[in-house]
Structure 1
Amino acid sequence: MTATTLPEATTVPTPQATPRHYLMCPPKYFTVEYSINPWMDPGTPVDVDRAMAQWTELKNTYERLGHTVEVIEPQPGLPDMVFAANSATVIDGRVLGARFRAPQRAAEAEHFRRWFVTRGYRDLVMPSRINEAEGDFAWTGRVLLAGSGFRTDPEAHAEAQEVLGVPVVSLRLVDPRYYHLDTALFVLRTGDDAQIAYYPEAFSAGSRRVLQRMFPEAVLADAADAACLGLNGVSDGRHVVLPLEATGLAERLAALGYEPILVDVSELRKSGGGPKCCTLELHA
């Protein structure tokens, strides 16, 4: 009788947290006074005190998890400066600044550039193409996923590869509600075994095939997850900060060993923002 060799069990990596370094901007001047995405309605009242309280709790959450949070001073007349993720992309100490599509946000780029200069960042380049930074760039530890379709120019992807010196994979967004890559995809775990979560319907057919090929173990979000900007999450490899309403996604992540942390960002969502929009990661 011939013995049967059983296949080896697949080893699923145990989620591990690593300390992160973030840059944030308080929503001192937050309001919705113009509309540059489908979430924004200038006729909807905004409670600045509530927005500040939500932002403060988000910052405190990161610090309780052991992460470093630096803060840039907000500027009057720039209500969307709270969304610091749109200000730069930082990998291995190299900084690629931002260039905004909407004129209402254009001045933010210079304030963030000055912050990096005063903090001693010398390898800094301001882009020649429209580039909304981590709004459309997601670093997996090996590859930079880059979105286009509504904000960042496709040509900015090549510029990012040249400046940052990392391989770039272009993805096309097709649903205007998910106008930035970080509203439809985020990185759960970085490195050789990187894992992501994303909402497939936000992407073109070709981009979905690319993501399926690159990340067969990805966590797929449903329409309810996406509709509360549940994909605008922040992960340290184990703890995953999500909007309060993203309960379905939280359950799926918990089943994989991640620890979801749900936070209220309902006031900030009036501008189409969530935890990730408020959080620029400074990748050392």
Structure 2
Amino acid sequence: MQGPAVPRVPTPRHYLMCPPQYFAVDYSINPWMDPAQPVSAKIALAQWTRLRDTYRRLGHAVEEIEPQPGLPDMVFAANSGTVVDGRVLGARFRASQRTAEAEHFRRWFTEHGYRDLTMPEKVNEAEGDLVWTGRVLLAGTGFRTDPAAHAEAQEVLGVPVVSLQLVDARYYHLDTALFVLAEATDSADAQIAYYPAAFSPGSQRVLRRLFPDAVLATAADAECFGLNGVSDGRNVVLPLEARATGLGEQLVRRGYEPVYLDISELRKAGGGPKCCTLEIRK
């Protein structure tokens, strides 16, 4: 049952991002990537810059890591670490083309004073598949992150983990099929949006039980990467196309304020707003 619109309060966030200076689609490691399709690093950088500047306009802190040649997907910083209460769990990529990214991000965290840092033994694509709700960590598997990485994340981060099975290869990371609109607090439960068909029947039942008031997205919402959104509890950054799918209207009815941005060039590599955004929770 849809909840009534209530006043939403934004919370200042701390993000780490990587400029797409070397953006390209030279290989295909997800269904959205087509090396035969032209891409523009210039356009990608302009779209990324608007995303970064939007976060800052909304009152959020944004730090940047230096991009590295030969790592065109480094722009998708969310895949490179999970930070909860200052504890950092690094990444271990499944695709060989991205393996080297993990060390650059590990070095960044070390150089910026994060001492409680663990590099995983299991394949773990970080916030791509690990989504913090404020009380539990939702953990995706099926295409990238190893199921055994979920137990490793629970041990390292010290938070309860709920495993979810992804079944549609187009939504290969959890953050392409689900995102948190409002984190759980002492006085309120978390609220999420998700695309049910991206999950196994059992995982759909788990989500319905945990989040009975969730925003349920349509296929059209998911196909434009509308579930790869970023919310601060009131302002929700979404791909421009989500204005036409109905997702934005659902959010407005819940009291959220959609902020639409063009991420079309970045989507050619299978990424959206959240993919570009690693949240640092101290």
Both proteins in one fold, TM over 0.5: yes
Aligned residues: percent identity?
Answer: 75
8 Å contact 2:6–2:255 — kept in the other structure?
A: no
Report 1:75-224 matches (<5 A).
75-192=68-185, 193-224=189-220
Q: Residue 229 of structure 1: which of 194, 206, 225 is its match?
A: 225
The CA deviation string for residues 123-146 of structure 1, in whole angstroms up to 9 with x for no partner, is 000000000000001100100000
SS of the residue 1:267 aligns to: helix
8 Å contact 2:4–2:253 — kept in the other structure?
A: no
| Residues in 2 aligned to 1:204 and 1:12: alpha-carbon distance in whole angstroms | 30
SS of the residue 1:242 aligns to: strand
Shift, 1:12, TM fit:
6.1
Structure 1 vs Structure 2 CA RMSD: 0.9
What's the TM-score, normalizing by structure 1? Answer: 0.96
The CA deviation string for residues 52-73 of structure 1, in whole angstroms up to 9 with x for no partner, is 0000000000000000000000
Shift, 1:14, TM fit:
2.5
The CA deviation string for residues 109-135 of structure 1, in whole angstroms up to 9 with x for no partner, is 000000000000000000000000000
Q: Residue 14 of structure 2: which of 21, 28, 31 is its match?
A: 21
Aligned positions, number:
275
> Which structure has the greater CA radius of gyration?
1
Poorly superposed stretches of 4+, deviation over 2 Å: 10-14
Q: Which residue of 2 aligns with 1:274?
A: 272
SS of the residue 2:263 aligns to: coil
Q: Which residue of 2 aligns with 1:255?
A: 253
Please tell me the residue identity of whatever aligns with 2:217.
Answer: A
Q: Residue 64 of structure 1: which of 49, 53, 57 is its match?
A: 57
| Residues in 2 aligned to 1:161 and 1:93: alpha-carbon distance in whole angstroms | 14
Shift, 1:15, TM fit:
1.5
**Structure 1: 5+ residue stretches without partners:** 1-9
SS of the residue 2:260 aligns to: strand
**Structure 2: 5+ residue stretches without partners:** none
| Residues in 2 aligned to 1:14 and 1:163: alpha-carbon distance in whole angstroms | 35
Shift, 1:191, TM fit:
1.4
Q: Which residue of 2 aligns with 1:264?
A: 262
Shift, 1:254, TM fit:
0.7
8 Å contact 2:4–2:254 — kept in the other structure?
A: no
Shift, 1:11, TM fit:
7.4
Q: Which residue of 2 aligns with 1:40?
A: 33
| Residues in 2 aligned to 1:55 and 1:154: alpha-carbon distance in whole angstroms | 31
8 Å contact 2:131–2:137 — kept in the other structure?
A: yes
The CA deviation string for residues 66-94 of structure 1, in whole angstroms up to 9 with x for no partner, is 00000000000000000000000000000
Q: Which residue of 2 aligns with 1:238?
A: 234
